[in-house]
A and B are shown apart, each in its own frame.
Chain A
Amino acid sequence: MVSKPTKEGKEKAITEPLVCAHCGESCPSDDITLGDKHFCCQGCKMVYEILNENDLCRYYELDEKAGVSLRGRRLEQYGYLDEPDIREQLLDFTDGQRSDVHFYLPQMHCASCIWLLENLYRLSEGIRRSTVNFPRKEVSITFDESKISLRQLAELLASIGYAPLIQLSDLKSEEEKRPVVDRRLYFQLGVAGFVFGNVMLLSFPEYLGLSGELVNPLFVSWVSWLNIALSTLVVFYSGRDYLRSAWVELKQGHLNIDAPISLGILALYGRSLYEILSHTGAGYLDSLAGLLFFLLVGKWFQQRTYYRLSFDRDYRSYFPIAASVREGDEERSLSANKLEPGMTVVLRHGELVPADGILLKGEALIDYSFVTGESEPVRKYTGDKLYAGGRQIGSTIEMTLTKKVSQSYLTSLWNESAFDKKQQSKTKFLADRIATYFTLTVLLLAGATLVYWLPRDLALAFNAFTAVLIVACPCAVALSVPFTFGNSLRKLAQRGFFLKNVHVLEQMSEITAIVFDKTGTLTSREEAEVHFHGQPLSLEEKILLYTLVNQSVHPVSKQIASWLLRAEEPGKMKALKIQQFRELTGMGLEGMVSGRQLHVGSQAFLRTVLGAQFAEGESEEGKSVYFSLDGHVRGYFSLNNRLRPHLEGILRKLKGRYALSLLSGDNERERVRFEQLFGAEATLRFRQKPKDKLAFVQKLQAEGHKVLMLGDGLNDAGALKQSDVGVVLADDTNNFTPASDGIMDARLFSLFPDFLPFARNNLRLVYAAYLLALLYNIIGLSFAMRAALTPVVAAILMPASSVSIVLFGVFSSNLLARHLFGRMEKQRFADPQKRRVKDRIDF
């Protein structure tokens, strides 16, 4: 293996890249080792040690890239879990000793994770059992509180790389703790399937014409009664959601898709009851049970998702669950909803300002990019106002609160009208729009049939009238949206685009305007385009510089560090020993590495440090950071917000087809750059406050546009909600995302222009399915209006139409996805190939 390079060996050190034994990522330095294993950071080494000591190293054999890198991650603080009322609200169950709790672990990603998390009992004897729910990324743990406390449990999970994510919205009172899983659909489906099968079997004698002398009349009436009992169950249990929904809408004067369905159900049920009770026939009870069974299967298919993402988060999910409050000389954690004005709160590096307040002491550098969209952290001085939602960078600060969490500036955004409005009432969905015409047409046809037959034959007239209602039931119409859109939703999810429900796909097909947010959406929040101006740096100089900037958590230092890492081959860049390191807030860094004096910072900083030796360098647009070595300026870095890869191509595809706009909370510094990208027709607005963004979307909608908004931060929350389709672009879909209709994996952003045509073509597929359904209805109606619809014809025609619509929907949307996005290998969660497959489609 590689030995620690000497000073001479450094220049030509072409070492093979070191790979961390825990997380599999390349190691920046080679001095963190255990035996012959190398690690990228102390965190990874610690995890490895814990697992090794407990014979859990199988973890690394089960799935490649099992470990989660701990580099740059701060260990979470779980002190607040010792607070009795927080503990009580988090526990699912406790009898004082044995307790149940479930944690959300965003880092869970592979089969190894499942294995390790279900073997937790080997790490602590207080843990009795742990069960993973992988799609929900949850682990349920039963533990003994006399042996391990809730806090220790959370810390144990964090120490092996699975830090539980606990948020303000997780705190639940006793009555809210009931399980949220809705299993009613399964029960309804089970009943419908049971009844469908039995009624069909019992109806066989009828199909085969085995009535009359062959079959005992007692037997026939017996079977009929049995059928009635079973179908009553299916209508009023399995079908009650349809009946109720139709009734509720009807009372308000609307017709939705459930109205013609209910009409069909009731017509089938009523006609069958009449026939059986009057001994004029056997009724259509088998068709009735079959209809409900297919409808429920469609509903289940539509709801079935393979991903668990939260689309309805509000500020409560973003804020921390607790803050450390200072009382005299003591510090204790207090849950966020108990914070009161006047309290003194201590904030450490990376912590969020929980509520509006005033800075008491410390050097505050607040990153508001998520809240306001400004990309640069803001320097604050004692006495300045701090707004909730900002993230402190650097040293520890103290602040006095002036407001409660729920009354802060940021949370007041949620009181906007856009958040009150129910999404559903905004537009009528396709199926419901069609339902109105459909129901009226059916009633008209049924009426006409009645009028035609009435003078001729009373019994036949009634027969034909109900037959029309039965056969025209929009089963096929009701099934085509769930299956076509439901399948497409899954196709999109495989390509990193997760939609809230099938209606979003429908809305997407009508989009005419696209609004982009800048910071975090089009530009990366962390990474920057870094250019060095001056004599190119040698590898040795780069290592010196890396050692210095690696010490600081300031975003600019991090950007330079990641640029240095990227510029060199993996494994070459390493941090050396540093002496006399100092970070001057708002100025720069200094330190001694290998006996050489380094300074990195603003122009003003270097001028004070170096005095006359400092030669002016011309500064371009963007931010400049100067670098000096042994008192001589080596040059300066210019930093620009880094654009998302492929942005130019994406915009070129969208230009001309949609009205494009850009909204940014930043200043106009980059206007020229974005004007070139967006073209002359686009609207670019800078210095936009969250409310301005909301107003802009409203203005577009007033002009008749259907708006798709692409944003990411809390500052976009209002605009996202107001848009017809609000999409969040997320680098990590497990992180906090504001309320939206869809979440897009940022790595697959280049597919975005194809998503909109995909949605439009999907709508065409549904129309085609409707045509197919219409064809069936015409055939069925031709029987019904002639009063010739026998139970056998109904029993064949109705399932046939349902099944063919389902097959058409699934196959056609599969073909469409393949045509637009190309063939793709199937991804499974724990598939070791998953990452490789992802990399492949990842450009």
Chain B
Amino acid sequence: MLIMLFLIMLSLILALGFLLAFFWAVRTGQFDDDYTPSVRILLDDDQPKRDNQKD
């Protein structure tokens, strides 16, 4: 039965790890703006040609 206790503690520590990860995410402001990042990821960094070169 001791193995059960060990496993429970293990799972609890694992879950606690996720909780702390969530806390960290909240604290660093990742939940403050849940819209802009979804657009940002679609914007590329490549340099487009200059307008007068294109013509």
Contacts and interface: CB of A to CB of B under 8 A. Distances in A.
Interface of A: 35-36, 52, 55, 57-58, 61-62, 111, 114-115, 118, 132-136, 181, 183, 186-187, 190-191, 194, 197-198, 201-202, 215-216, 218-219, 222-223, 226, 306, 829-830
B26 interface: yes
Contacts of B33: 133-136
B51 A52 contact: yes
Nearest to B27: A183
A132 B27 CA distance: 18
Contacts of A187: 23, 26
A36 B33 CA distance: 40
A52 B52 contact: yes
B36 to A, nearest CB: 4
Nearest to B33: A133
Contacts of B36: 114, 132-135
Contacts of B51: 35, 52, 57
Q: How large is the interface on B (under 10, 10 to 19, 20 to 34, 35 or more residues)?
A: 20 to 34
A57 B48 contact: yes
Consensus secondary structure, chain A interface = helix
A190 B27 contact: no
Contact of B55 (A35, A114, A194): A35
B52 A55 contact: no
Contacts of A62: 43
Contacts of B16: 194
Given A133-B32, A133-B36, A57 B50 contact: yes
B15 to A, nearest CB: 6
Contacts of B4: 219
A299 to B, nearest CB: 15
A688 B55 CA distance: 61
17 contacts: A35-B52, A35-B55, A52-B52, A55-B50, A62-B43, A111-B43, A114-B40, A133-B33, A134-B33, A134-B36, A187-B26, A190-B23, A194-B18, A194-B19, A198-B15, A219-B1, A829-B35
Interface in B1-49: 1, 4-5, 8, 11-12, 15-16, 18-19, 22-23, 26-27, 29, 31-33, 35-36, 39-40, 42-43, 47-49
Contacts, number: 78
Contact of A186 (B8, B31, B42): B31
Nearest to B37: A134
Given A114-B39, A829-B35, 6 more contacts: A55-B47, A186-B26, A186-B31, A187-B23, A219-B1, A223-B8
A321 to B, nearest CB: 26
B39 A134 contact: yes
A-B pairs, top 4 by smallest CB distance, nearest first, are A216-B1, A134-B36, A58-B48, A186-B26
A181 B29 contact: yes
B26 A61 contact: no
Given A36-B55, A114-B40, A118-B40, A190 B8 contact: no
Contacts of A135: 33, 35-36
Interface of B: 1, 4-5, 8, 11-12, 15-16, 18-19, 22-23, 26-27, 29, 31-33, 35-36, 39-40, 42-43, 47-52, 55
Binding site of B, secondary structure by majority: helix, strand, loop or mixed? helix
A183 B8 CA distance: 30
A830 B55 CA distance: 29
Contact of A183 (B1, B31, B35): B31
Contacts of B15: 194, 197-198
A215 B1 CA distance: 8
A300 to B, nearest CB: 10
Contacts of A830: 39
Contacts of A306: 35
A41 to B, nearest CB: 19
Nearest to A63: B39
A350 to B, nearest CB: 32
Contacts of A226: 8, 12
A218 B1 contact: yes
A219 B5 contact: yes
Residue among B1, B4, B11, B36 with the highest chain A CB neighbour number at 10 A = B36
A218 B5 CA distance: 10
Nearest to A217: B1
Contacts of B32: 133, 181, 183
B48 A61 contact: yes
A219 B2 CA distance: 8
A202 B43 CA distance: 46
A183 B32 CA distance: 8
Contacts of B43: 62, 111, 114-115, 118
B40 A190 contact: no
Contacts of A57: 48, 50-51
A118 B40 CA distance: 9
A52 B49 CA distance: 9
Contact of A134 (B11, B22, B35): B35
Given A133-B33, A134-B35, A135-B35, A190 B42 contact: no
Nearest to B26: A186
A297 to B, nearest CB: 14
Nearest to A184: B26
Given A36-B55, A194-B19, A52 B31 contact: no
B42 to A, nearest CB: 7
Contacts of B48: 55, 57-58, 61
A158 B17 CA distance: 46
Most buried by B among A61, A190, A218: A190
Contacts of A201: 11
Contacts of B12: 198, 226
A269 B33 CA distance: 36
Nearest to B48: A58
A134 B40 CA distance: 10
Given A52-B50, A52-B51, A183-B27, A111 B19 contact: no
A529 B19 CA distance: 62
B41 to A, nearest CB: 11
Nearest to A112: B43
Contacts of B8: 202, 223, 226
A111 B39 contact: yes
Contacts of A194: 15-16, 18-19
A114 B33 CA distance: 13
A219 B5 CA distance: 7
A790 B3 CA distance: 29
A800 B23 CA distance: 29
A457 to B, nearest CB: 35
B39 to A, nearest CB: 5
A118 to B, nearest CB: 7
